[in-house]
Amino acid sequence: MKKMLGEERRYELLSVLKTAGKAITGTELAKHANVSRQVIVNDMNLLKARNEPIISTSQGYLYMPLEKAAYVERKIVCTHSAENALDEMFTIVDCGVTIKNVIVEHAIYGEITASIMVSNRPEVEAFVKRVEETKANYLSVLTDGTHMHMISAPSEGLLDLAEERLREKGYLVEN
């Protein structure tokens, strides 16, 4: 495949993301466009600057159409050890809820947010495996296990169910 240039490449990348229905890694997009991964990172930033609903997740780039924004969202506060991260995430996604991100409050930097975007057990397992393989730490290690998640679901009832399950396991922090 020949190397694609600027606008043509961004148009093609946008088309690929729109039709994929799932996250696609920068490496996969780079191979598709016959360019470096860094070029893809720059292209994604340019597309985001044009208000294209592209989000960066731990699984890659995801096109998030506006109709998905109809989901209800809630920010929750949780606390647990790193060893319980898998169980916490399984508990949430098993209720039909998506974990959009993790947020920690840092004394110097303020709020630090990282995208997660997991909605089911295989996605959670892939996320945790990636953390383990890279020997990365969960952001919650910065705050002795306390962190927040923005969660989303098609209904408030599912968010309530996830909170109840987290409460039962002692992961939910409440006022």
Residue spans per domain, the chain: 6-66, 71-168
Binding-site residues for Ni(2+): 80, 88, 147, 149
Nearest Cα residue to 76 out of 58, 115, 102, 96: 102
* CATH fold of 6-66: Arc Repressor Mutant, subunit A (1.10.10)
Residue numbers in the known binding site are 80, 88, 147, 149
Mean pLDDT of the chain: 90
Residue type, 110: G
pLDDT of residue 73: 94
Res. 1 pLDDT band, cuts 50 70 90: low
Does the pLDDT of residue 3 top 90, yes or no? no
pLDDT at 66: 64
How much is the average pLDDT of 6-17? Answer: 92
Q: 112 CB contacts (<8 Å, ≥6 apart)? A: 103, 104, 105, 106, 139, 142
CB atoms within 10 A of CB 12: 15
* Spatial distance between the Cα atoms of 114 and 157, rounded to a whole number of angstroms: 26
**Tens of pLDDT along 39-94?**
999 999 899 888 888 888 778 898 887 665 568 999 999 999 999 999 999 999 99
Tell the CATH superfamily of the 71-168 domain: 3H domain (3.30.1340.20)
| Cα–Cα dist 136/59, whole Å | 15
